[in-house]
Amino acid sequence: MAIAVLETTAPVTPPPPTSKRRGSLGGVILWVVLTLLIIAPVASFLILGVSPRVFQQGSQWFTLSYVRQAFSSYFGRGIFNSLWVSTTVAILSVCLATALAWLIHRTNVGGRRFWTVAMWLLLMMPTWMMTLGWSDLLQPFGAAEALGVNTHLIYGEFFGPLGIVVVLTSAALPFAYFIVSAGLQGLGPEYEDAARIHGAGPIRSLQTVLPIIAPALLSALAICFAETMSDFGVAFTLGYHSNFPMATYVLFSAISNFPANFSVAAVIAAVLIISTIPPIVLQSRVMRKRSYAVLSGRTRAPRRRQLARGPRALATTAVAGVFFVALGVPILGAVIGSLVKNLGIDSPNGVHFTLTYYAQIFKPSIQGDSLGAPLLLSNQLGLVVATGTGVLAVILARRLIANPGSWSQRVTDVFLLGSVAVPGVVLGVGYIFFYNLSFISHNVVSIYKTLPLLMLALVANAVPGQTRFMAGPVSQIQPSLGEAARVHGAGRMRAWRTTNLPLMSRVLLWGWLLTFTKTIAELAISQILYPPSQEPASVSIQSYLANFAPNTGTAMTVLTLFEMLAVIGIALSIYRLVTPKGWRRVGWTGVQS
């Protein structure tokens, strides 16, 4: 799953009315696209769990034997591990994110702007990169020891549930943080003031006020759970090396081992999807039944609590500590790891720093491939996928907020919620099945084992989360702004371009950057669907790390990370240079800066 649901509690307002005929035709086209992108591939894979004969994967038309198999031995352990780890991670990340959001948005803690940028970086960092940084840092004769820190005691613990929970909590933190922040932003000081005036102390007033953002907390819990359940990066790296199987990895191994067991993989996929739907649907129902709309024209800007010097220093240190563990350690570990000669090997000559591995990146190695071509390919994929996802997400987001309560809106809503819970690995395998069907390849489209198939799968993976990410900002734009443009002479497109686009520009840009970076670093789908001799960067790096030259793989990871950061920097600079001042003043309707 590329990105998750970053929702706001903003009231949903309908967009200007459109022609019914045009709307229904558009709706049909949209659902055909969504069927080809998500519904058909996922459904064709899931059906194998109970009916393997449909795609010639067995002799039975209906059987439950694979369900039993999936819940036993190694596979069952993977499912059980994923469930408890995801629950733990969801609770930890929401608690931590609530504390961070409160400190950053409601107090004068130091470096507030910096921490928000750091949170975005954390959001964009793939989990396998985090794992790599940690393991490079902690391994015997690794980066930490190069800096003179003994890590023998922690190392054993890290390669196990503890390390997995730490990395996944770090990865889930931004999702929870942005959702809780949105809730806190709308919570004006008057609620706390009213509690204090009526006799509540600081603790009791906090107890009074926190339930107001309960939907945001619940939403964050659901999303963190879903994100963790569907993560592949940690399961593929840390989970595998720690002999701690997790659901996504056992699913992957079920299809990649010989002989492949697609039916068991399908059952595990169904478990992954089903396990994430209840919390999301529960959250959605709670949001629908109770109104927590706290944003209004009369809501005053939240007031910051002025901490005294001592508590402020303590709070700043605590926030810095969290970011150091979540972001600093992995980056530091990977950077140092890429610079230390013979990392992980006891050298009698002591530690030596070198740039050799960076030099090797672009030289043909034993494997015959440098990072150049895969990285270029990943950037091209990122460009196409982020743009395609952005267009589709805006269309879907508008549909999601149009005609609240209508049948089409509810179907779209449920579909998107369900799709957010579909892990990339499930989508990847589903694409193999669906687009390899002779009916599809002969009559619809023949793209099996091609780059467009990988692109489509990546778009399908990113669209649900991106749509929900856009829905908040889109719903916050008052319909009267577009109506005013139409009334004063602008056509439909011009009205959208001159009024809605500027207001959404920044969130569109960040959404694009998020999909772009996630696509470059995406592992599960890329690993399953990359065409022969066209490896994306993430796959290439994994093969270096696993088989040939881990040090060069680490250097590749660092280079890819910095390349992503450079793209973000360039894109933001271009945005700053080419957009009018007015766009930059208000183009931030959804996510707090």
The residue written with tokens 């929401």 in the block is 94
**Judged by CB under 8 A, which of 65, 191, 486, 567 binds another protein?**
486
CB nearer to another protein: pick between 309 and 488: 488
Which parts of 420-479 interact with another protein (CB under 8 A)?
478
Q: How far apart are CA 385 and CA 461, in angstroms?
A: 10
- What is the three-class DSSP state of 107? strand
- What is the three-class DSSP state of 148? coil
Which parts of 302-331 interact with another protein (CB under 8 A)?
none
CB nearer to another protein: pick between 301 and 308: 301
Q: How far apart are CA 214 and CA 120, in angstroms?
A: 23
Compute CA distances 476 → 8, 316, 382, 403, whole Å. 9, 32, 28, 15
The residue written with tokens 């706001």 in the block is 8
**496 DSSP 8-state letter:** I
Q: How far apart are CA 229 and CA 80, in angstroms?
A: 11
Which parts of 1-30 interact with another protein (CB under 8 A)?
16-17
| Interface with another protein, residue 483, by CB under 8 A | yes
Least Å distance, CB 180 to another protein, is 26
**Judged by CB under 8 A, which of 22, 289, 309, 488 binds another protein?**
488
Stretch in the footprint of another protein (CB under 8 A) among 49-57, 242-250, 466-474, 485-493:
485-493
Other C-beta atoms within 10 Å of 569: how many?
10
Q: How far apart are CA 559 and CA 565, in angstroms?
A: 10
**Judged by CB under 8 A, which of 152, 308, 580, 593 binds another protein?**
580
**Judged by CB under 8 A, which of 491, 569, 573, 574 binds another protein?**
491
Least Å distance, CB 296 to another protein, is 12
Stretch in the footprint of another protein (CB under 8 A) among 129-137, 298-306, 443-451, 577-585:
577-585
Least Å distance, CB 579 to another protein, is 9
**CB 248, CB 423: distance < 8 Å:** yes
| Interface with another protein, residue 502, by CB under 8 A | yes
CB nearer to another protein: pick between 16 and 161: 16
CB nearer to another protein: pick between 314 and 487: 487
What residues form DSSP beta bridges with 305?
Answer: 107
**CB 209, CB 195: distance < 8 Å:** yes
**Judged by CB under 8 A, which of 6, 485, 541, 556 binds another protein?**
485
Dihedral sign for Cα atoms in the order 511, 513, 519, 521: negative
Q: How far apart are CA 554 and CA 558, in angstroms?
A: 6
CB nearer to another protein: pick between 20 and 363: 20
| Interface with another protein, residue 586, by CB under 8 A | yes
CB nearer to another protein: pick between 27 and 160: 27
Least Å distance, CB 490 to another protein, is 6
What residues form DSSP beta bridges with 107?
Answer: 305
The residue written with tokens 């920044």 in the block is 506
CB nearer to another protein: pick between 237 and 500: 500
Least Å distance, CB 482 to another protein, is 9
Q: How far apart are CA 469 and CA 225, in angstroms?
A: 17
Least Å distance, CB 470 to another protein, is 18
What residues form DSSP beta bridges with 340?
Answer: 353
Stretch in the footprint of another protein (CB under 8 A) among 274-282, 353-361, 441-449, 578-586:
578-586
What residues form DSSP beta bridges with 353?
Answer: 340
Report which of 403, 399, 425 is spatially closest to residue 522, judged by C-alpha positions: 425
Which parts of 187-226 interact with another protein (CB under 8 A)?
none
Stretch in the footprint of another protein (CB under 8 A) among 70-78, 369-377, 492-500, 559-567:
492-500
Q: How far apart are CA 17 and CA 411, in angstroms?
A: 19
Gap between the terminal Cα atoms of the chain: 24
The residue written with tokens 């002989």 in the block is 259
| Interface with another protein, residue 582, by CB under 8 A | yes
Q: How far apart are CA 556 and CA 463, in angstroms?
A: 28
CB nearer to another protein: pick between 32 and 586: 586
**Judged by CB under 8 A, which of 24, 480, 547, 573 binds another protein?**
480
**Judged by CB under 8 A, which of 503, 520, 539, 558 binds another protein?**
503
Other C-beta atoms within 10 Å of 157: how many?
12
| Interface with another protein, residue 532, by CB under 8 A | no
Cα-to-chain-centroid distance, residue 111: 25
Compute CA distances 82 → 86, 103, 172, 240, whole Å. 6, 31, 14, 13
Burial of 447 (0-12, 13-18, 19+ CB in 10 A): middle
CB nearer to another protein: pick between 96 and 503: 503
**Judged by CB under 8 A, which of 39, 490, 565, 567 binds another protein?**
490
**Judged by CB under 8 A, which of 75, 175, 262, 583 binds another protein?**
583
**Judged by CB under 8 A, which of 64, 314, 318, 484 binds another protein?**
484
**Judged by CB under 8 A, which of 288, 290, 410, 492 binds another protein?**
492
Least Å distance, CB 15 to another protein, is 11
Least Å distance, CB 371 to another protein, is 41
Stretch in the footprint of another protein (CB under 8 A) among 26-34, 315-323, 441-449, 579-587:
579-587
Least Å distance, CB 483 to another protein, is 5
Stretch in the footprint of another protein (CB under 8 A) among 144-152, 342-350, 430-438, 583-591:
583-591
DSSP output for 512-526: HHHHHHHHHH--HHH
Binding site for another protein (CB under 8 A): 16-17, 478, 480-481, 483-492, 495, 498-499, 502-503, 580, 582-583, 585-587
